[in-house]
């Protein structure tokens, strides 16, 4: 078995090869140039990468945007990747290489990777949320990824936590990610200090009262959204991803504050950090490609 895997993001396309059913060898990455080259440029780059990895028995792709699970077509991508919406990525690559091709949204793929190889292995039901520029999410229920009617389930960043609140990139107001993403944390610190700090710089300056209070207020926003989701799904676990969760103080605070908001029958939910880091997309791509290969046989 030899499976080629791609993780297509707005900044870079990571790629690797799997020659065993449970591990990917990352081989490198290529700049996406998404804004400049758009969707067609991504297809050409994917082809160039796959040509160097050939031969292979299947292809697994984790990608930004929403992908049709059955066909692998990109059904929606925002302005970060112009003209990506509507591209029949899966069909195109199947025709070119003559092998099964599986395509999933990147957050769904990361959750699949965590379920198969990482922090989700011990859970039948769990939520996976990634905090960064926005907030991405996915839900596993009874061992199955919840895809939704249009393969779009898990947009937890767009639940409304503040009716009539701050504007969100999706066009609505008061969305969870407008208050609880790392972008929102940085904006809050800038509003109060006048400084443009990234997440790492914020945690390095927690000795400053204004920054410490800003972080505390942001954690409250994170926890309010998590409590709502836990009450809605009643999962065994919640897996939190994003570089910000490398800060141990953050996980401790979230667990402590959540316990004050959850009803007694929800207190057993395990809160843990994602285990796979930036390999989650590639490993999720491996899992979906293996599944596609089995269905062909």
Report the predicted TM-score, pTM, of the whole model to 2 decimal places: 0.88
In a domain, 116, yes or no: no
Domain match, 199 and 233 both: yes
In a domain, 117, yes or no: no
pLDDT tens string, the chain, 297 residues long: the values are: 899 999 998 889 999 999 988 889 889 999 988 889 999 999 999 999 999 999 999 999 999 999 999 999 999 988 778 999 999 999 999 999 999 999 999 989 999 999 999 999 999 999 999 998 889 899 999 999 999 999 899 999 999 999 999 999 889 999 999 999 999 999 999 999 999 999 999 999 999 999 999 999 999 999 999 999 999 999 999 999 988 998 888 999 999 999 999 999 999 999 999 999 888 999 999 999 999 988 876
Q: Are residues 199 and 181 in the same domain?
A: yes
pLDDT of residue 172: 94
51 shares its domain with 129? no
Segments forming the whole domain that contains residue 44: 3-110+278-296
**65-87 per-position pLDDT tens digit:** 999 999 999 999 887 789 999 99
Q: Are residues 262 and 287 in the same domain?
A: no
Same domain, 165 and 194: yes
Same structural domain for residues 128 and 19?
no
Number of domains forming the structure of the chain: 2
Sequence-distant contacts of 226-229: CB under 8 A, at least 24 apart: 226/129, 226/254, 226/258, 226/271, 227/258, 227/261, 227/262, 228/159, 228/161, 229/127, 229/129, 229/137, 229/156, 229/159
Same domain, yes or no, for 267 and 282? no
Question: Does residue 36 form part of some domain?
Answer: yes
* 93 shares its domain with 210: no
Assess whether 11 and 59 both reside in one domain: yes
Same domain, 266 and 286: no
CATH number of the domain bearing residue 201: 3.30.420.40
């Amino acid at each position: 078995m030899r499976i080629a895997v791609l993780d297509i993001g707005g900044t870079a396309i990571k790629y690797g090869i799997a020659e065993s059913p449970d591990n990917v060898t990352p081989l490198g990455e290529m700049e996406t140039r998404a804004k400049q080259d758009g969707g067609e440029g991504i297809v050409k780059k994917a082809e160039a990468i796959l040509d160097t990895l050939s031969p292979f028995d299947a292809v697994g792709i984790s990608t930004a945007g929403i992908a049709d699970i059955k066909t692998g077509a990109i059904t929606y991508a925002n302005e970060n990747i112009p003209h990506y919406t509507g591209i029949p990525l899966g069909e195109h690559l199947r025709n070119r290489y003559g092998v099964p091709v599986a395509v999933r949204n990147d957050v769904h793929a990361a959750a699949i990777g965590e379920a198969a190889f990482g922090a989700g292995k011990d859970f039948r039901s769990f939520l996976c949320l990634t905090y960064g520029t926005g907030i991405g999410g996915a839900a596993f229920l009874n061992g199955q990824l919840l895809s939704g009617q249009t393969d779009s389930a898990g947009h937890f960043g767009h639940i409304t936590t503040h009716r009539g609140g701050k504007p969100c990139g999706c066009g609505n107001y008061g969305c969870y990610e407008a208050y609880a993403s790392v972008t929102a944390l940085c904006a809050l610190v800038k509003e109060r200090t006048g400084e443009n700090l990234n997440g790492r710089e914020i945690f390095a300056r927690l000795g400053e009262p204004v920054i410490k209070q800003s972080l505390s207020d942001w954690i409250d926003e994170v926890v309010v959204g998590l409590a709502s989701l836990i009450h809605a799904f009643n999962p065994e676990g919640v897996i939190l991803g994003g570089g910000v969760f490398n800060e141990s103080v953050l996980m401790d605070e979230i667990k402590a504050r959540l316990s004050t908001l959850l009803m007694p029958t929800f207190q057993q939910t395990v809160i843990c950090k994602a285990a796979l880091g930036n390999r989650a997309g590639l490993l999720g791509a491996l899992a979906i490609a293996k599944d596609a290969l089995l269905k062909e046989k």
